[in-house]
Amino acid sequence: MKLDTKSLRYLNPTDWRTLTAVETGSRNHEVVPTPLIANLSKSSVGDVQRSISLLAKANLIAKVKNAKYDGYRLTYGGLDYLALHSLQKSNTVYSVGNQIGVGKESDIFVVSDEKGEQRVLKIHRLGRVSFKKGVRNKRDYARTKTQKERGAGSWMYMSRLAAVKEYAFLQALHDAGLSVPIPLGQNRHQLVMSLIDGFPLRQIENVPDPAGLYAELMEILVRLCSLGLIHGDFNEFNLIIKEEQEEEGEGIRLVPVLIDFPQMVSVDHANAEFYFDRDVECVKRFFARRFGFTSTEEGPLFKDARKQLGREGRRLDVEVEASGFSKKMAKELETYMKDHGIDGDARDAETNDEEASESGAAASDNDDEVVDEGASDIG
Ligand code: ADP
Ligand code: MG
């Protein structure tokens, strides 16, 4: 989804209050009636009317004709603005640059801070449905099916949960010294982290020492497990390889950096072993196919890795829960993702690798996308 930041600098304080009022009203109204917007924004009706038409024109809110009354709802654009505005106020983001990634459930942008230093902004977009050509007629079906669960703005809530989860894990992993981006800020459905200067493993055609890199990746999986965690989407899409000058000599070292955490689970999760094995298998398969490397060693096995639990005296799964991403939130997000067939990048790795790398068509099924947030009922 495009992020049009053009109007960001032109909104006045009443506009922001009005936009915030629509967001607040959306928590328990599918369609927020105009008098409620005026009331929540504590502005005069005239000012609010002016703001409403400006916000609607900029597609930050959308008019909805309801059976009982007319009103407005927040759009993804409006939520983007609110989150960006907060990140700007906290000096986390100064300006927004190019989009570097379009996932099924997220958009990735390069942003910069006041000094011009580049960072990464990840925007979670659950509830956005991407339809492949030819399955267009499923659209109406998908709409009616999600209508009732839209209730308290479920796309908004779920996208925020995904960002909160990803940020909580990013902080814990960074704090424990794992090779991950530096967490810099989070607001609503967005998070900001350092930009890793490298390429996803997926784009790397050969490495000087496949066995060494493979061993290093397996050690990361085992170390995560010893800290109480399983990544759940550990594969060539979510490992960025950066080059580092070796301290002694001229050599260059390849350093894997792990990203993309909305699927992480605790080692106590009912399907922990399944996720652990899948992570191991993804790396195995990729190394065999891309580098012709197959390890002579079996495993690592979940039961062995789990025996190392607590070897560093920390359990990040427990820490994350204590930091505010509760079991209940984890369950809600997991249920939503399961119900919507969201299963990370691993499935793409299994099914699309050959065709995609030959035709370079990795991201081509994204050109017919719909924001499933009730766009059909705009009056
Ligand atoms: P998704 O959930 O859509 O898979 P990811 O977090 O995996 O999102 O990011 C998608 C892509 O964006 C990555 O494969 C990578 O190329 C790029 N990317 C994400 N985060 C960073 C970062 N911190 N630094 C550099 N590139 C990044
Ligand atoms: Mg990813």
pLDDT digits (tens, 9 = 90+) for 193-207: 999 999 999 999 999
Mean pLDDT of 280-295: 97
Q: Which carries the bigger pLDDT value, residue 289 or residue 346?
A: 289
pLDDT band of residue 279 (cuts 50, 70, 90) is very high
Which residue lies with its CA nearest to atom 11 of ligand 1?
101
Q: Name the pTM for this structure.
A: 0.87
Q: Considering the chain, what is the average pLDDT of its residues? A: 86
In the structure, what pLDDT confidence band is assigned to residue 68 with cuts at 50, 70 and 90? confident
Residue corresponding to tokens 């195995």? 284
User: Which runs of consecutive H residues, i.e. helices, occur in 5-116?
Assistant: 13-26, 34-41, 45-57, 76-89
- The three-class DSSP label of residue 309 is coil
pLDDT band at 21 (very low <50, low <70, confident <90, very high): very high
Q: How many residues does the chain have?
A: 379
**Angle 45-57/13-26 helices, nearest 10 degrees?**
80
Condensed to tens digits (0 to 9), the pLDDT of residues 157-195 reads 999 999 999 999 999 999 999 999 999 999 999 999 999
Q: What is the largest CA-CA distance in the chain?
A: 74
Q: Any residues with CB less than 8 A from the CB of 333 and at least 6 apart, and which?
A: 158, 161, 162, 165, 262
Q: Phi/psi at 75 (nearest 5 deg)?
A: -100, 170
From the alpha carbon of 196, which atom of ligand 1 is closest? 24
* CA 260 to ligand 2 center in whole angstroms: 5
Q: Are 322 and 228 in contact (CB under 8 A)?
A: no
At 131, the pLDDT band (50, 70, 90 cuts) reads very low
> What is the rounded distance in angstroms from the CA atom of residue 307 to the CA atom of residue 29?
49
Higher-pLDDT residue of 67 and 110 is: 110
- CA 273, 275, 278, 282 torsion-angle sign: negative
pLDDT score recorded for residue 299? 87
Q: Once rounded to an integer, what is the mean pLDDT over residues 236-261? A: 92
% of residues, the chain, pLDDT over 90: 72
pLDDT (0 to 100) of residue 372: 42
Query: Comparing 94-103, 139-148, 236-245, 330-339, which segment has the lowest mean pLDDT?
Result: 139-148
Query: Any residues with CB less than 8 A from the CB of 141 and at least 6 apart, and which?
Result: none
pLDDT at 294: 97
> Nearest ligand, CA of residue 100?
1
Q: What letter would DSSP give residue 60?
A: S
Question: What confidence score (pLDDT) does residue 134 get?
Answer: 33
How many angstroms separate the alpha carbon of residue 308 from the centre of ligand 2?
A: 27
Instruction: From 106, 108, 194, 345, give the residue whose CB has the most ligand 1 atoms within 8 Å, as the site to mutate.
Output: 108
Does the structure show a pLDDT above 70 at 18?
yes
263: pLDDT strictly greater than 60: yes
- For residue 242, which ligand has an atom nearest its CA? 1
Write the burial class of residue 123 (CB in 10 Å: 0-12 exposed, 13-18 middle, 19+ buried). buried
Place of tokens 């891309």: 290
112 within 8 A of 194, measured Cβ to Cβ? no
CA triplet 59, 191, 88: central angle to 5 degrees? 65
Query: pLDDT value at position 133?
Result: 34
What value does the mean pLDDT take over residues 262-271? 96
Q: Which residues surround ligand 2, an ion (CB under 5 A)?
A: 237-238, 260, 345
Q: Which atom of ligand 1 is nearest to the CA of 100?
A: 12
Would you say residue 139 has pLDDT above 70?
Answer: no
| Secondary structure E strands in the chain | 32-33, 61-65, 70-74, 95-102, 106-112, 118-124, 128-130, 183-187, 190-194, 199-200, 229-230, 239-245, 252-258, 265-266, 369-371
Position in ligand 1 atom list of the atom nearest CA 198: 25
Q: How many whole angstroms separate alpha carbon 259 and alpha carbon 280? A: 16
- In this predicted structure, the answer to whether residue 66 has a pLDDT above a threshold of 50 is yes
CA distance linking residue 274 with residue 238, whole number of Å:
19
Per mean pLDDT, which range of 220-224, 236-240, 244-248, 292-296 is the poorest? Answer: 244-248
Q: Which residue has the higher pLDDT, 130 or 295?
A: 295
CA 237 to ligand 1: nearest atom = 14
Burial class (CB in 10 A: 0-12, 13-18, 19+), 356: middle
- Catalytic residue check, 367: no
Which position has the higher pLDDT, 249 or 28? 28
Catalytic residue among 233, 260, 345, 348: 233
CA of 166 to the centre of ligand 2 (A): 12
pLDDT at 348: 63
Average pLDDT for 38-60? 95
Cα-to-centroid distance, 236 and ligand 2 (Å): 9
pLDDT number for residue 347: 65
- Who lines ligand 1 at CB under 6 A? 100-101, 103, 105-106, 108, 120, 122, 181, 193, 195-196, 200, 237-238, 240, 259-260, 345
- Beta bridge pairs of residue 71: 33, 64
